[in-house]
Amino acid sequence: MRPLAHPSERPWIMLDRPASDTLDRAHVAAMSAAITCVAVVGIGLSLSIPLLSLEMERMGVTSTVIGINTALAGLASIVTVPFVPRLAARIGVVRFLIVAICVGAASLVGFKLLHDIRWWFPLRFVFSATLGVLFVLSEFWINEVAPPARRGLVMGIYATVLALGFAVGPTLLVVIGTQGYAPYCAGAALFLLGTVPIALARGLAPVIEGKSSRGVLGYVRLAPAAIFAALVYGAVETGGFAILPLYGLRIGLDAESAAGLVSMLALGHVLFQIPFGLLADRFDRRHLLLASALGGAIGAALIPAASASPFWLAVLLLIWGGLTGTLYTVGLAHLGASVRGAELAGANAAFLIFYNVGLMVGPPIIGGGMDLMPPQGFAHAMCGVLVAYAGLVLWRLRRTAPALTK
């Protein structure tokens, strides 16, 4: 049994905050650079996702091909992310980040230059692989330099800023439109802008020394509650965002109101991150993961009853989206308390791989649930996923309880 890495891993014990865990100027500058980089790229990414789907629709591509092309993003991350820590150790974190961002920007413009769906599959693979590099290394950077007693707060800020960035991207499309080169160039420019804070903070970047001694399954055994939090979050987030508008239509809402339900989920993601990040610095993070999963399961179970009232459904989705959205933040903070250095880079890679697995399996499970029990099977399927994860965390807590009392 591994020793507890930090007092926050002890069950429900309030933390003392030693001076060494304060956020000094160097910590703030280093973390701000990585968070700013991800936020700027997040704007460009959230702009590109609907843009590419609309462009394929104009090209006359079938919905099935559009779905396959979009799903290739998850496969690209799963295939390439395991190699990121080793390459970053050889190339350097800052240099690798800048190269990935530049290649991503070029790929985005390439979608418009190579206006043929046959080219869009390799382009999507390259584009998504560069995003995998970005998120693995930026989250490693943030987790590595965050003071242990403030790690939850830092990850909460990171998740909030990223969520805000994702909200800005689609709004930009309303301003600049979806026709011509303008949106592609704007997205690429935002990507390239993300290199500025990274380059300015290059002297503060962490260094990956050596190589990880574990494979992906090794990290699953080390911190299953954290790793599976990424998978469940990916499944519920993607399934919720993809299927929720259809659910709204099935219960009799108009298209605009059904789409507005997704906005409530997104708003919940933004509002809950920092409060739960603060809680993650004061209590055992596994207990918070259990609370988020159980709260999310209860919220999902209440969706059928709330669907009779659009107002109460919107309120419930705000709270439900906030609770489930904290799985990623708290899971990442829990992971950062378990390993350091090259092991942390490998753990972040495993975390992102499982997140992408969730992205790929979530929509079929949740959509299939709605087909089996229309329309409330949507809620039942999400409830089942969250209950299964809560069972895993509870099992993990019970298994480690004897060691904690010694």
Q: How confident is the model at residue 200 (pLDDT cuts 50, 70, 90)?
A: confident
pLDDT in tens, 87-134: 998 899 999 999 999 999 999 999 999 988 899 999 999 998 998 899
What pLDDT shows up at residue 213? 67
The pair of structure tokens assigned to 180 is 């011509």
Q: How confident is the model at residue 37 (pLDDT cuts 50, 70, 90)?
A: confident
Element (H, E) at 164: helix 151-176
pLDDT at 9 over 80: no
Q: How confident is the model at residue 14 (pLDDT cuts 50, 70, 90)?
A: very low
Counting residues of the chain whose pLDDT is more than 70, the rounded percentage is: 91
Residue environment code for 267-296, b if the CB has 16+ CB neighbours within 10 A, otherwise e: bbbbbbbbebbebbbbbbbbbbbbbbbbbb
Residue environment code for 23-58, b if the CB has 16+ CB neighbours within 10 A, otherwise e: eeeebeebbbbbbbbbbbbbbbbbbbeebbbebbee
pLDDT at 19 over 60: no
Phi, psi of 93 (to 5 degrees): -60, -50
Q: Give the number of residues written for the chain.
A: 406
pLDDT at 13 over 50: no
Cα distance between residue 69 and residue 188, in whole Å: 20
State mean pLDDT over 142-148: 85
CATH architecture of 214-406: Up-down Bundle (1.20)
pLDDT at 214 over 80: no
The reply to whether 214-406 shares the fold of 25-205 is: yes
For the structural domain made of 25-205, what CATH number should be given? 1.20.1250.20
Phi, psi of 223 (to 5 degrees): -140, 70
Cα distance between residue 136 and residue 145, in whole Å: 14
Cα distance between residue 227 and residue 150, in whole Å: 21
Other C-beta atoms within 10 Å of 163: how many? 21
Domain boundaries, the chain: 25-205, 214-406
The pair of structure tokens assigned to 68 is 């396959």
What pLDDT shows up at residue 54? 80
Question: In this structure, are residues 250 and 229 in contact, taking their beta carbons and an 8 Å threshold?
Answer: no
What pLDDT shows up at residue 24? 66
pLDDT in tens, 364-386: 888 888 889 989 998 999 999 99
Most confident of 114-118, 360-364, 397-401: 114-118
Residue type, 268: G
What pLDDT shows up at residue 238? 81
Angle between helical axes of 310-336 and 255-280 (0-180°, round to 10):
40
pLDDT at 209 over 90: no
Sequential DSSP letters for 65-95: HHHHHHHHHHHHHHHHGGGHHHHHHHH-HHH
**Side-chain half-sphere CA neighbours of 204 within 13 A:** 21
Question: In this structure, are residues 369 and 377 in contact, taking their beta carbons and an 8 Å threshold?
Answer: yes
What pLDDT shows up at residue 72? 83
State mean pLDDT over 155-160: 90
Q: How confident is the model at residue 341 (pLDDT cuts 50, 70, 90)?
A: low
pLDDT in tens, 223-251: 899 999 999 999 998 888 778 888 888 89
What pLDDT shows up at residue 4? 34
Q: How far is CA 144 from CA 191, 194, 221, in A?
A: 23, 20, 21
